[in-house]
Amino acid sequence: MTVVYKAPAPAQSCGPETAERREVLKERGQHEVFCGLTSIMWLHRKMQDAFFLIVGSRTCAHLMQSAAGVMIFAEPRFATAIIDERDLAGMADMNEELDKVVERLLDRRPDIKLLVLVGSCPSEVIKLDLPRAANRLNGAHSPACRVMAYSGSGIETTFTQGEDNFLAALVPDMPAECADAVPSLIVVGALGDVVEDQMMRVFNGLGVGPVRFLPSRSSTTLPPVGPNTRFILAQPWVGTCAQALERRGAKRISAPFPLGEEGSTGWYRAIADSFGVEPARFDAITAPGRERARRAVERYRPVLEGKSVFLFPDSQLEPSLARFLSREMATSIIEVGTPYLNREVVGAELDMMPESVRVSEGQDVDRQIDRVHEDNPDLIVCGMGLGNPFEAEGRSTKWSIEFVFTPIQGYEQAGDLAELVARPLMRRSLLKVGS
The residues binding other proteins (CB under 8 A) are 1, 29-38, 55, 57-59, 61-63, 65-67, 69-70, 72-76, 79-85, 87-88, 92, 94, 97-98, 100-101, 104-105, 108, 121-122, 124-126, 153-156, 158, 366, 384-389, 391-392
- Residue 105 Cβ, how far from other proteins at the closest point, in Å? 6
Cα dihedral sign for 105, 107, 111, 112?
Answer: positive
Question: Quick one: 68 or 253, whose CB is closer to other proteins?
Answer: 68
CA distance 319 to 347: 9
- Residue 64 Cβ, how far from other proteins at the closest point, in Å? 9
CA distance 339 to 319: 11
Question: Quick one: 156 or 412, whose CB is closer to other proteins?
Answer: 156
CA distance 363 to 135: 37
Contact (CB, 8 A) for 78 and 51 = yes
- Residue 101 Cβ, how far from other proteins at the closest point, in Å? 5
- Residue 333 Cβ, how far from other proteins at the closest point, in Å? 24
CA distance 198 to 410: 8
Question: Quick one: 94 or 303, whose CB is closer to other proteins?
Answer: 94
Question: Quick one: 38 or 413, whose CB is closer to other proteins?
Answer: 38
Which class for 253: exposed (0-12), middle (13-18), buried (19 or more C-beta within 10 A)?
A: middle
Query: At how many degrees (to 10) do helices 193-206 and 279-298 cross?
Result: 150
Question: Quick one: 266 or 424, whose CB is closer to other proteins?
Answer: 424
Question: Quick one: 56 or 263, whose CB is closer to other proteins?
Answer: 56
- Residue 182 Cβ, how far from other proteins at the closest point, in Å? 42
- Residue 103 Cβ, how far from other proteins at the closest point, in Å? 10
Angle at 342 between CA 234 and CA 309, to 5 degrees: 80
Question: Quick one: 187 or 369, whose CB is closer to other proteins?
Answer: 369
**Beta-strand pair 50-56/78-82:** parallel
The per-residue DSSP string of 163-204 comes to HHHHHHHHGGGSPBPPTTPPPEEEEES---HHHHHHHHHHHH
Contact (CB, 8 A) for 315 and 290 = no
Question: Quick one: 104 or 427, whose CB is closer to other proteins?
Answer: 104
Q: Is 353 helix (H, G, I), strand (E, B) or coil?
A: coil
CA distance 401 to 72: 20
Phi-psi region of 279 (alpha: psi -120 to 50; beta: other; left: phi over 0): alpha
- Residue 348 Cβ, how far from other proteins at the closest point, in Å? 27
The per-residue DSSP string of 289-329 comes to HHHHHHHHHHTTHHHHTT-EEEE-SSSS-HHHHHHHHHHTS
Of the candidates 246, 357, 265, 311, the residue with the CA atom closest to the CA atom of residue 19: 357
Question: Quick one: 203 or 312, whose CB is closer to other proteins?
Answer: 312
- Residue 152 Cβ, how far from other proteins at the closest point, in Å? 9
- Residue 382 Cβ, how far from other proteins at the closest point, in Å? 11
Cβ neighbour number for residue 153 with a 10 Å cutoff:
23
Question: Quick one: 161 or 235, whose CB is closer to other proteins?
Answer: 161
- Residue 402 Cβ, how far from other proteins at the closest point, in Å? 13
CA terminus-to-terminus distance, the chain:
35
